[in-house]
Amino acid sequence: MNGNYFSLEVGKSNRLTRIFQLVLGILCIVIALGWLITNFSSFDANRSLWLTIIFLLGFGYFQINSGLGKGDKFIEIGEDKIRLKRNSVLPVRELHVTEIAKTEIYPLSVVFFMKSGKKDKLRFGTTYPDIINPVRQSIEDFCARNNIESEIRKEEL
């Protein structure tokens, strides 16, 4: 897909950070499984062990996911679809031209109205405001190129 790719991450992690995340994630999962094996007989008496194991497994999964680069948040604007990953855990959401009815572009967010009646909202942070204008311009170009109604609005409190 030829298009514009914009990272929505607060900071880019380097190779050393990613390796550390992978090692930490694997270590958390190994500790959780070891904890499960060594304390298996005491699970009936102490239910908080389950909470510990579930937390370690979830945190380990999150760290491995981030270490492999699968947790990066982004928006990719192509010729006929927009790919959104707003959350580091949830999968990528694809918005095809045939699904989008209109867009409303606010100073710190973009709302996609679907033909099915649903709304998809992309919120920008205020940490890196330099990414907001290129993304907004690319979305406006995408809408103009595909005859999608686009409206620029002001934030109302």
List CB contacts of 153: < 8 A, sequence separation 6 or more: 104, 105, 106
Buried b (16+ CB within 10 A) or exposed e, 72-94: ebebbbbeebbbbbeeeeeeeee
The pLDDT value recorded for residue 9 is: 76
Distance CA 53, CA 73 (A): 27
The pLDDT value recorded for residue 108 is: 87
Query: Could you tell me how far CA 106 lies from the centroid of its own chain?
Result: 20
> Average pLDDT by consecutive 10-residue portion of the chain (157 residues)?
73 84 96 88 74 93 90 88 87 92 90 93 80 90 92 77
Query: What does DSSP assign to residue 103?
Result: E
The pLDDT value recorded for residue 44 is: 67
The pLDDT value recorded for residue 1 is: 47
